[in-house]
Amino acid sequence: MVSNVGLQSLASNVTTQSMLGTATVNYYIRGVGLQDYTQNNTSPVMMYMDDVAFPLSTMTSGMLFDTASVDIVPGPVGTAHGLADTGGEIHIHTADPTKVWHYGARQDIASYARSITDVYVSGPLARNVQFRLAGQTMHGGGWQYDPQNHTHLGDANEGALRGKLAWQPDNRTDIMLTGHWMRDLSQVVVGQPVLNLDPSLPTPVLGSRQANWDLSPQFAHLVGRSATMKPSENNMLWGVDIKASRDLGFATLKSISAYEAERESEYTDQDGTVYRGGDMYRNIQANVFSQELRMESEKQSPIEWVVGLYYNRVRMKQSFYYDFTDYRRFMVNTHYGQNQQAFSQFADLTYKLPHGVRLLGGINHESDDRQLLNLETVHINSERLSFYNEGGNYNQFSGHLGVQWQPIQQFQVYFKVSKGYKPGSFTANDTAVQAQLRPTKPESVLAFEVGEKADVVPNKIRLNAAAFYYSYHNQQILSDYLVPNYGPEGMFVNIPHSEIWGVEFSAEIHPLPHVYVHENLGYQRMKFTQFQALDLSATNALYKQSGAWSAVFSSYNGVDGGMPKLTLNGDAEYRQPVLSQKYQISPGIDWMYRDSQALQPGGLGPYRLPPYFLLGAHLTLKPMHGPWYISVYASNLVNRRYYVTGQETTTTFFWVQGPPRFVGGRLGINF
């Protein structure tokens, strides 16, 4: 089972981070990504679920079950389907209906009373009609507690369903109807403060599983929830899509129509203390409609081509409530609406030449229009601030050129140049002045990549490698804006230019009988070449000395971009027949290392997450020819204390800790 956050263990130079321990997950590939808690922006890394693009990443929460495959594609994309991107794509492919009956279930029970249950059934309803129904529930697993009142925190309470109906009206036509639903009432993890700038609010010293949080009755009344509510989600996601394809002989015509809806209510204690300095409650109502039409040529043709059109429409309303009573002496509500639509046209071409040479090319034109509407910030029982509407209209081209050479079946080399595009974005969160709402410019990446794929020893050693260089223009980044007499607030800004370069290696090795090893290794460096911005650490230090806010700006030219430089992950397994060859026992280990990560440009000390290394282990028993398996496992085997993300709220900078050791067992059966 792979969660949204766990996707980073599948490839090199990939980072996935839950914002503040919540359902919102941000994705980075080769240093390209965006820390977007408010979901006001198109992600530089696009998530696809069964070929449907999800421009709001939270909409994929709880959907990674009954999966068939996961594909992670780095670099600028968008010439063969969907939307253009600067960072890449993550494709989740879930299992399709089958023409013969299959069904199964899996039960996973682990530490802290965590329970995960998966079930599915698939088969024919009629001669040319098949269905698949799959579901998952997750409960427990809360490992945090408040040492002041011994309140338990972090339990999951989530359920999801997915149904698919396939129909083949004739031998040239395929139609698939998919619907899914997810309900999430899980508690969220609370961060631990590592820096507090207000001497009247001392930073608590907490153990590895400890957390502080507190909800005032006044704030609970304001948001219309119980005063006993813990930091938690109250989300419902659902959607439906219909995919149809028709074989025209010379090409296949495909249509993908989708509608996705999100209803999110979320309470987080962002400062991780009992003080009322960063308690937050947000409501999001959003929906996305998308339509894609594309035509693909036959795969055996010397010239393979794809042409298509894509359209999406997003409507969103958000309300943010903050309790700043112990810091700013008031509570706040910021609310607004956002409309967005995008239309793109794309074409992709592969030309096969003699001697294993292929020429590659593609182009995408995308127009994006978005408006931030009717934003108001209300200081409860004090004042109401109304702001002008903001908008952006963007038109950009992107594309790629490349060449592949495969002199023999076991070896391929390639080179490609690509340009990616992402539209501008807004900041909308606890707005105090109009300047915070200025939209950013679109960002673009000019990427160069060279690589090889080789079966060095067929069925024994496979080695893939790549090297890349990105010229990054107008990179969008969550920086800070100092509101006079108020304090720093998060704000998206553009970095005029930065550079990223790196290398990646992937190996699958079967060196000895029964031994299987898989390893991913990535090294990347990011450097700002033109960037001047508010220096948060210096501004905070000055405030701590003087007690007054005064902006300190710094040049970050030549400063490292802060993404983890070295990442590696892998696993090794020994598969041994036992008991007269009737069963197989498979002990194995897995590992992951992530380098330190700056949370602010040039960040050090509390503004930089320390590196960490995690080790896991498992032991699986299954019959050589049978439907069941049983497994025991441990994650974070040595019980390391490590941190996966961090952020600042008001005067507190905090880190969010990763889970401690979990020990569990799985029992699965498939027919």
Q: How do residues 232-277 score in pLDDT, each as one tens digit?
A: 999 999 999 999 999 999 999 999 999 999 999 999 988 888 888 8
Q: What is the pLDDT of residue 168?
A: 97
Write a three-state SS string for 366-425: EEEEEEEEEEEEEECCCEEEECCCEEEEEEEEEEEEEEEEEEECCEEEEEEEEEEEECCC
pLDDT band of residue 7 (cuts 50, 70, 90) is: confident
Which letter, b or e, does each residue of 375-407 get, where b requires 16 or more Cβ atoms within 10 Å of its Cβ? bebbbbeeeeeebeebebebebebbbebbbeee
* Between 273 and 109, the higher pLDDT residue: 109
Q: How do residues 123-179 score in pLDDT, each as one tens digit?
A: 999 999 999 999 999 999 999 998 887 888 999 999 999 999 999 999 999 999 999
Return the structure tokens found at 451.
Answer: 């690589």
Phi-psi region of 328 (alpha: psi -120 to 50; beta: other; left: phi over 0): alpha
Q: Which stretch of 6-20, 114-128, 584-598 has the lowest confidence by average pLDDT? A: 6-20
Is 198's pLDDT higher than 80?
no
Long-range CB contacts for residues 656-660, cutoff 8 Å, separation at least 24:
656/18, 656/20, 656/21, 656/189, 656/191, 656/192, 657/189, 657/191, 657/192, 657/208, 658/612, 658/614, 659/143, 659/635, 660/143, 660/208, 660/209, 660/636
Return the amino acid letter for 133.
L
Map residue 436 onto helix, strand or coil: helix
The stretch 428-454 carries a mean pLDDT of 92
From the list 400, 397, 398, 309, the residue with the least C-alpha distance to 350 is 400
Is 540's pLDDT higher than 60?
yes
Among 271-275, 289-293, 318-322, 480-484, the range of highest mean pLDDT:
289-293
Q: What is the pLDDT of residue 547?
A: 79
Rounded CA separation 286/264 (Å): 9
pLDDT band of residue 654 (cuts 50, 70, 90) is: confident
CA distances from 521 to 414, 565, 591, 636 (A): 20, 11, 12, 20
The stretch 310-321 carries a mean pLDDT of 95
pLDDT band of residue 2 (cuts 50, 70, 90) is: low
Is 104's pLDDT higher than 80?
yes
CA distances from 445 to 31, 84, 88, 423, 654 (A): 12, 11, 11, 12, 31
Is 491's pLDDT higher than 90?
no
Rounded CA separation 187/191 (Å): 13
Write down the mean pLDDT value for the chain.
92
Strands 88-94 and 45-49: parallel
Is 425's pLDDT higher than 80?
yes
Rounded CA separation 483/494 (Å): 19
* Structural domains of the chain sorted by starting position, each given as residue range(s) with its CATH number in brackets: 5-670 (2.40.170.20)
Q: How do residues 23-79 score in pLDDT, each as one tens digit?
A: 888 899 999 998 887 888 888 999 999 999 998 878 888 889 999 999 999 999 999
Q: What is the pLDDT of residue 35?
A: 85
Predicted structure pTM score: 0.93
Q: What is the pLDDT of residue 3?
A: 67
599, exposed or middle or buried, with CB in 10 Å at 0-12, 13-18, 19+? buried
Instruction: Note whether 167 and 210 are within 8 A (CB).
Output: no
pLDDT band of residue 620 (cuts 50, 70, 90) is: very high
Q: How do residues 502-535 score in pLDDT, each as one tens digit?
A: 999 999 999 899 999 999 999 999 999 999 988 8
Q: What is the percent of the chain with per-residue pLDDT over 70, rounded to a whole number?
A: 99
